[in-house]
Amino acid sequence: MKNRSPYDLDGVPVLKEAIPLGLQHILAMFVSNLAPILIVGGVIGIPSDKLTFLIQCTMFVSGVNTLIQAYRIGPIGARLPVVVGTSFAFVPVAISIGLKYGFEGVLGAALVGGLFEAFIGLFMRKVRKFFPPIVTGVVVLSIGLSLLPVGIKNLAGGFGAKDFGSLSNLLLGGIVLIVVIIFNQFAKGIWRTAAIAVGTAAGIIIAGFMGKIDFGAVSQASYFVVPRPFTYGLEFHLDAILAMMLMYVVSAVETVGDMSGVTMGGANREVTDKELSGGILADGFGGVIAASFSILPTTSFSQNTGIVAMTGVMSRFVVGTGAMFLIVGAFIPKIGALISVIPASVIGGSLVMLFAMIAISGINLITKEKLVGRNAVIVAVALGVGFGMGSVPEALTYLPESFKLIFGGSGIVVSAGIAVILNVILPKEIKQKETVRESKLNQA
């Protein structure tokens, strides 16, 4: 009998379940997926007609790369419900490269950087020992904590909103959050697992009555377009390539954290060597595909990791269903325009909970062993310095710009780096002695 359970990795639920579950993945990532190309394009001066076309290419590549992660091509792909989209992490370096060399310079550097990350993926089995639960837990927790402000900013109206922080935005986002909590805790069956889609639908209806939805973009959008590669050319500059390669290392670290969050949150297990290697390979080759279609690099999306952690839905078919909506939407601009008019506060209402659930997955990884002695030091120093640095980026004011690009921002890279280094240099005997000492104290 065919496995119909949405909670199993290879489960194939019926379409009436798979469609809303897949759609809630797309609703959670849609705006964030398109925002990076809009930001970079606006700063470096990409013409509006080409920018509109690149938006469609972004949707197409995100859908294709999500399918590769979920279903694997040879060794490429984690075969996990990992949703892929354009990464915000690349925005600062893309702007700096674009202003110096133009968008062609950004794409050339991104293509080489993607090949570099794929090369890293080939050796992930050998470096896996550097990522035990205590390290990956710190990375996952850092991702969740660093994203919480993004969720709140969306709930309050979104980046650059004129009515940011207004009572109407806070009320709308708050209602969505309450609906998600109610359905997640008290509903049953599909209504429980699709709590985010239900909350979003409720938010859209209420936003309509509040006059917060403008369908002008939908009417102006064309009916059909075909995404095609190499709209822009490629240029290769050494300094741009080196900067982009470093950002791909950041992407690899985040992908390790996201995959760990998916397996821990959805299946209560650690990610396997094969999944880890395939996921990093797919992340790198996904960047090559993205550069070929003249868009910014893609990577795993943490908000979708949060959906898996909250709902427990591990079905790759569900994520694949969502990816097909992205691909179809890439050919029909009106579909993308329809989703894009959803107010940020509606999306933000669910993002707050999703990002917090990522943090919970990190805590579950960290606490697989007792959080004392050596482990406590690793977590304390990694989070204290890394997350603290991300919260106070001006602490890096006098460092070179390249350092600020890598070690500033969210602080994820700093947290991960410190956790890896401390895990290597702190002797495990300290932890063992601490455990023996505690045991004796308990017996006394």
Q: pLDDT tens digits, residue range 78-121?
A: 999 999 999 877 877 788 788 889 999 999 999 999 999 999 89
The answer to whether residue 379 sits within a structural domain is: no
- The answer, yes or no, to whether residue 26 has pLDDT greater than 70, is yes
How many angstroms from the chain centroid is the CA of residue 125?
Answer: 23
Closest CA to 106 of 84, 86, 121, 120: 86
More confident call, 160 vs 296? 296
Contact 95, 246 (CB under 8 A): no
Residues above pLDDT 90, as percent of the chain:
36
For range 325-332, the mean pLDDT: 91
- The answer, yes or no, to whether residue 48 has pLDDT greater than 90, is no
For range 354-376, the mean pLDDT: 85
3-state secondary structure the chain: CCCCCCCCCCCCCCHHHHHHHHHHHHHHHHHHHHHHHHHHHHHHCCCHHHHHHHHHHHHHHHHHHHHHHHHCECCECCCCCCCEEECHHHHHHHHHHHHHHCHHHHHHHHHHHHHHHHHHHHCHHHHHHHCCHHHHHHHHHHHHHHHHHHHHHHHCCCCCCCCCCCHHHHHHHHHHHHHHHHHHHHCCCHHHHCHHHHHHHHHHHHHHHCCCCCCHHHHHCCCCCCCCCCCCCCCCCHHHHHHHHHHHHHHHHHHHHHHHHHHHHHHCCCCCHHHHHHHHHHHHHHHHHHHHCCCCCEEECHHHHHHHHHHCCCCHHHHHHHHHHHHHHHHCHHHHHHHHCCCHHHHHHHHHHHHHHHHHHHHHHHCCCCCCHHHHHHHHHHHHHHHHHHHCHHHHCCCCHHHHHHHCCCCHHHHHHHHHHHHHHCCHHHHHHHHHHHHHHHHC
The answer to whether residue 435 sits within a structural domain is: no
For range 293-312, the mean pLDDT: 88
Closest CA to 180 of 34, 363, 357: 357
Phi/psi for 90 (5° steps) reads: -85, -10
Total domain count for the chain?
1
- Model pLDDT, residue 194: 78
- Model pLDDT, residue 431: 46
Contact 241, 105 (CB under 8 A): no
The answer to whether residue 409 sits within a structural domain is: no
The answer to whether residue 52 sits within a structural domain is: yes
Quote the tokens at residue 235: 């240029």
The answer to whether residue 284 sits within a structural domain is: yes
More confident call, 204 vs 1? 204
- Model pLDDT, residue 82: 93
- The answer, yes or no, to whether residue 440 has pLDDT greater than 60, is no
The answer to whether residue 147 sits within a structural domain is: no
- Model pLDDT, residue 429: 56
Quote the tokens at residue 263: 């397996």
Contact 265, 361 (CB under 8 A): yes
Quote the tokens at residue 157: 């109206």
The answer to whether residue 371 sits within a structural domain is: no
> Which residues touch 224 (CB under 8 Å, ≥6 apart)?
331, 332, 333
CB count in 10 Å sphere of residue 280 = 27
* 240-281 pLDDT tens trace: 898 788 778 878 877 888 898 899 888 888 889 899 999 999
Contact 427, 420 (CB under 8 A): no
Q: Helices 133-155 and 412-425, interaxial angle, to 10°?
A: 170
* 390-435 pLDDT tens trace: 778 788 788 776 676 566 666 777 888 899 899 999 887 544 555 5
Contact 22, 327 (CB under 8 A): no
Contact 22, 320 (CB under 8 A): yes
- The owner of tokens 């868009």 is 295
The answer to whether residue 6 sits within a structural domain is: no
- Mean pLDDT of the chain, nearest integer: 85
CB count in 10 Å sphere of residue 440 = 9
Per-residue confidence band for 437, with pLDDT thresholds at 50, 70 and 90 = low
- Model pLDDT, residue 353: 84
Angle at 414 between CA 107 and CA 381, to 5 degrees: 170
Quote the tokens at residue 322: 């969502």
How many angstroms from the chain centroid is the CA of residue 59?
Answer: 15
- Model pLDDT, residue 151: 83
For range 31-55, the mean pLDDT: 80
Closest CA to 131 of 2, 238, 254: 254
- Model pLDDT, residue 274: 92
- The answer, yes or no, to whether residue 65 has pLDDT greater than 70, is yes
Q: Count CA atoms within 13 Å of residue 87 on its CB side.
A: 31
Closest CA to 59 of 378, 330, 331, 362: 330
* 224-233 pLDDT tens trace: 889 999 989 9
More confident call, 175 vs 307? 175
For range 125-143, the mean pLDDT: 81
* 192-213 pLDDT tens trace: 777 888 888 899 999 999 988 8
Residues above pLDDT 70, as percent of the chain:
93
Closest CA to 4 of 220, 15, 349: 15
Cα separation, 199 vs 181, in Å, equals: 9
**What range defines the domain where residue 291 resides?**
15-129+213-344
Per-residue confidence band for 295, with pLDDT thresholds at 50, 70 and 90 = very high
